[in-house]
């Protein structure tokens, strides 16, 4: 037997060492795994300072700056046609002089609606005739004989905390550096709430009410900046804010808005510094530094409350001769006309202290008649009560609002004037478009001005349907809505032309025919779009080259997401709903949490999913991102939740298993671990909630150090993260 030489032994040893040190071969894609079941909160140790479960991920390779694209894409309107969309300067006097034109235009629209109603009535008569024929009644359509054409500080005292908590929640704002108004804020030492007619300040720990400052009106939300708080209150009865426009519209509600700046340097005795009152209802608000930008709308009512009648009262749809119908419609036309003429021009106003002014000075108006609504952007410095606000008013209905650090965009849906069938709920229209108005904004009120407009096909779902990167606006839209088979979606990229107007330079069109958009998230040069009819396709798009955007990958899974949250550059966390597929349609089911790996954009993966309850389970976080509370430093997720059991496959649950705040630990390598929940009781909740109208007793939550604060409209509950289920404090929020 020959002994191996020293050289060969060394080679073998080296090979063995290399084998031991070599990286493991890549694992196959992770299968979809059910998240671990809930563990009892007693077994949960306080959360670590750093989330240990976050996987180490190589950063996405940086690309050079994207090419600058300004040339309109093929098929876009000419410069002259685009100029027709741009708003033009006007004044109050101009508006008053042309108000008669607006009135007559409104009368023309009213007549069009009556004519369309007559045509709809005529189309129904065949069915009516079939019903009445056997009775032998004379029933027919002729020319008719009418000849009418249808043509306080509580002073509770006590020592304040010496320092802020090392870890605390932040408002889940869409854009870094652009704060969004919300009903609760924290600085890590105190909580500030706008609820039940007052600004309420709570000490975080030990939890107690420090002061209650009553304010007139329906107190809704606030900003916090150092020792200043800006509180918004509605005068009148405001409607719930539309944040997810699947079954609601971005619209005014007839209320006016009070904006109060409060000095809270003495938390036990806040002092009012300034009050602004606008005649318009609150649409949205953003803060950049000390500058607050507020969008309000005047003369805009929800479309469910039309300003004229379109069918005579108590007139049946069947069994009435045409002459009678024509005569009654002519009478209705005259009544409608009198009511329209009786309404004179109404101008938006702003009162600052004792001084009031009309906001149509500097008014911008479109070439095309857009009705009587005025949308105004009001900008002011919360740190300087003597500086007058800067305003920019456009004659337009409101829309979804997105703001970057230097621009605020308003996406207003338009559709063809052709009246839809009375029984149709579809928005499908080849002519459905959205006009996007851009305002220049920034960290000083003086920067506020109207800057330009553009047009995109379809309508936007929420503020997350818009984003700005490298000077390009990206907009995700849908034309129509399921179950219309012609529904389709697009992602458009718009650049600014020399005049400042927005022109489409690229687009991904015809996406997911037969499905509509349910969630969107942009992340630098990528976009993630969720559409749905029976399954949830998650599309990954490359938007680096604005002239040549493209779909990189697609993942089809049951259910759908309504909100996508970026964990890091390679992972998404979402909330939405599970679904039961029935071939041609699907029933939505319980609330669904999902974790996605998008490191490889051509092959996105679902890592984990966690289903909560059955059909009828709901969370306000599903349709309002401000209720979605993820703390990245600790990998903690808190969600308001109504959890129902029973039912299923189209039948709502019949028992409320939990109502309050649920808390999860989330990690990309271990999924979802339910730590427990803060129970608020089942009073006032239901298992009959529709998926797009997210509802729950708890409205918001905050993490402050090792505590979680669960905020409802009647109380704030405080619990330790390691002892969920045991109240540390239960603070009533009096009405």
pLDDT in tens, 367-382: 776 677 899 999 999 9
Q: Residue 360: its pLDDT value, please?
A: 75
Query: Model confidence over 294-341: pLDDT tens digits?
Result: 999 998 865 444 568 888 988 888 888 899 999 999 999 999 888 888
Torsion angle of C-alpha atoms 66, 67, 73, 78, degrees rounded to 10: 120
Outline where 319-405 has alpha helix (H): 322-342
Give 179's contacts (C-beta < 8 A, 6+ positions apart): 171, 173, 223, 225, 286, 287, 288
Is the confidence at residue 134, as pLDDT, over 90? no
Q: Residue 362: its pLDDT value, please?
A: 75
Measured N-to-C along each axis, helices 92-132 and 322-342 cross at an angle, to the nearest 10 degrees, of: 160
Highest mean pLDDT: which of 35-39, 113-117, 240-244, 599-603? 599-603
Kindly state the percentage of the chain with pLDDT values over 70. 82
Q: Residue 554: its pLDDT value, please?
A: 95
Q: Residue 267: its pLDDT value, please?
A: 97
Stretch 653-669: mean pLDDT, rounded?
95
Q: Residue 18: its pLDDT value, please?
A: 38
3-state helix, strand, coil in the chain (%, to 5): 15, 40, 45
Is the confidence at residue 1, as pLDDT, over 60? no
Q: Which has more pLDDT, 79 or 76? A: 76
Burial status of residue 552 (CB atoms within 10 A of its CB: 0-12, 13-18, 19 or more): middle
Q: How far is CA 518 from CA 103, 180, 613, in A?
A: 38, 22, 21
Tokens standing for residue 504: 């489409």
Strand partners, 673: 665
Tokens standing for residue 251: 């619209």
Is the confidence at residue 440, as pLDDT, over 80? yes
By the 8 A CB rule, do 465 and 475 touch? yes
By the 8 A CB rule, do 647 and 637 touch? no
Rounded to whole angstroms, the Cα distance separating 61 from 52 reads 24
Taking the alpha carbons at both ends of the chain, their separation in whole angstroms is 96
By the 8 A CB rule, do 107 and 371 touch? no
Give DSSP secondary structure letters for 482-519. TT-TT-EEEEEEEEE-TTS-EEEEEEEEEETTT-EEEE
Mean pLDDT of the chain: 84
Closest CA to 567 of 5, 178, 54, 214: 54
Tell me phi and psi for residue 70, to 5 degrees.
-130, -15
By the 8 A CB rule, do 246 and 188 touch? no
Rounded to whole angstroms, the Cα distance separating 233 from 382 reads 16
Q: How far is CA 639 from CA 436, 617, 664, 665, in A?
A: 33, 12, 9, 12
Is the confidence at residue 195, as pLDDT, over 80? yes
Strand partners, 339: none
**Which strands make up the sheet holding 407-414, listed edge to edge?**
400-403, 407-414, 433-440, 449-457
Give CA angle at 562 (557, 568), nearest 5°: 80
Is the confidence at residue 390, as pLDDT, over 90? yes
Is the confidence at residue 219, as pLDDT, over 90? yes
What is the gyration radius of the CA atoms in the chain, in angstroms?
29
Outline where 22-164 has alpha helix (H): 79-83, 92-132
Burial status of residue 9 (CB atoms within 10 A of its CB: 0-12, 13-18, 19 or more): exposed
By the 8 A CB rule, do 450 and 484 touch? no
Rounded to whole angstroms, the Cα distance separating 350 from 686 reads 41
**Three-state secondary structure string covering 271-306:** EEEEEEEECCEEEEEEEECCEEEEEEEECCCCCCCC
By the 8 A CB rule, do 165 and 49 touch? no
Q: What is the per-residue burial (b if ≥16 Cβ within 10 Å, else e) of 587-610?
A: bbbbbbbbbbbbbebeebbbbbbb
Stretch 488-516: mean pLDDT, rounded?
94
């Amino acid at each position: 037997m020959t002994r191996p030489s020293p050289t060969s032994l060394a080679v073998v040893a080296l090979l063995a060492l290399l084998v031991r040190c070599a990286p493991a071969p890549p694992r196959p894609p992770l299968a979809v795994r059910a998240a671990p079941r809930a563990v009892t909160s007693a077994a949960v140790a306080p959360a670590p300072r750093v989330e240990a479960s976050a996987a180490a991920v190589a950063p996405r390779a940086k690309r050079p700056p994207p090419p600058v694209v300004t040339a309109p894409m093929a098929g876009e309107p000419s410069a002259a046609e685009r100029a027709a969309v741009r708003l033009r300067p006007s004044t109050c006097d101009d508006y008053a002089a042309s108000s008669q034109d607006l009135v007559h235009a409104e009368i023309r629209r009213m007549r069009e609606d009556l004519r369309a109603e007559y045509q709809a009535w005529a189309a129904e008569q065949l069915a009516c005739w079939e019903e009445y024929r056997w009775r032998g009644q004379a029933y027919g359509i002729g020319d008719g004989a009418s000849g009418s054409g249808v043509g306080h500080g509580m002073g509770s005292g006590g020592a304040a905390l010496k320092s802020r908590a090392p870890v605390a929640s932040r408002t889940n704002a869409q854009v870094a550096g652009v704060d969004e108004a919300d009903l609760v804020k924290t600085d890590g030492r105190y909580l500030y709430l706008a609820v039940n007619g007052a600004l309420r300040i709570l000490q975080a720990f030990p939890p107690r009410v420090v002061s209650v400052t009553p304010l007139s009106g329906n107190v809704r939300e606030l900003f916090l900046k150092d020792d200043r708080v800006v509180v918004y209150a509605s005068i009148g009865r405001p409607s719930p804010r539309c944040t997810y426009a699947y079954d609601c519209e971005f619209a005014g509600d007839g209320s006016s808005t009070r904006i109060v700046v409060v000095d809270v340097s003495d938390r036990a005795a806040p002092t009012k510094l300034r009050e602004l009152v606008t005649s318009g209802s609150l649409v949205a608000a953003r803060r950049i530094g000390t500058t607050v930008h507020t969008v309000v709308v005047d003369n805009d009512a929800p479309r469910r409350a039309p300003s004229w009648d379109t069918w005579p009262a108590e007139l049946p749809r069947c069994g009435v001769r045409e002459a009678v119908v024509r005569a009654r419609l002519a009478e209705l036309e005259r009544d409608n006309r009198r009511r329209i003429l009786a309404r004179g021009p109404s101008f938006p106003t702003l009162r600052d202290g004792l001084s009031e002014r009309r906001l149509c000075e500097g008014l911008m108006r479109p070439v095309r008649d857009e009705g009587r609504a005025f949308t105004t952007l009001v900008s002011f410095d919360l740190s300087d009560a003597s500086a007058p606000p800067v305003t920019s008013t456009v004659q337009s209905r409101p829309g979804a609002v997105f703001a970057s650090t230097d621009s605020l965009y308003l996406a207003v849906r338009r559709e063809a004037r052709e009246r839809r069938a009375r029984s149709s709920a579809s928005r499908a229209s080849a002519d459905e478009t959205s006009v996007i108005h851009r305002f220049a904004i920034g960290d000083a009120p003086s920067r506020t001005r109207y800057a330009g407009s553009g047009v995109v096909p379809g309508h936007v779902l929420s503020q997350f349907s818009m984003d700005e990167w490298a000077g390009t606006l990206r907009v995700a839209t849908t034309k129509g809505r399921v179950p219309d088979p012609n529904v389709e979606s697009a992602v458009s990229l718009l650049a600014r032309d020399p005049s400042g107007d927005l022109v489409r330079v690229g687009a991904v069109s015809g996406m997911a025919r037969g499905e509509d958009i349910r969630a969107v998230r942009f992340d630098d040069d990528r976009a993630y779009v969720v559409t749905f009819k029976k399954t949830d396709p998650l599309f990954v798009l490359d938007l680096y080259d604005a002239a040549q955007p493209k779909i990189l990958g697609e993942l089809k899974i049951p259910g759908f997401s309504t909100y996508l949250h970026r964990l890091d550059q390679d992972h998404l966390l979402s909330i939405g709903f599970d679904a039961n597929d029935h071939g041609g349609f699907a029933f939505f089911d319980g609330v669904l949490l999902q974790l996605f790996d998008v490191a490889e954009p051509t092959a996105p993966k679902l890592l984990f999913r966690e289903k909560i309850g059955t059909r009828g389970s709901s969370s306000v976080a599903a349709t309002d991102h401000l209720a979605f509370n993820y703390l990245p430093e600790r990998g903690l997720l808190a969600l308001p939740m109504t959890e129902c059991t029973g039912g299923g496959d189209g039948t709502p649950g019949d028992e409320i298993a939990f109502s309050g705040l649920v808390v999860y630990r989330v990690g990309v390598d271990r999924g979802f671990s339910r730590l427990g929940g803060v129970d608020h009781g089942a009073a006032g909740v239901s298992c009959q909630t529709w998926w797009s109208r997210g509802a729950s007793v708890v409205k918001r939550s905050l993490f402050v150090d090792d505590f979680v604060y669960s905020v409802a409209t009647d109380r704030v509950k405080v619990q330790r993260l390691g002892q969920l289920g045991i109240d540390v404090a239960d603070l009533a929020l009096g009405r």
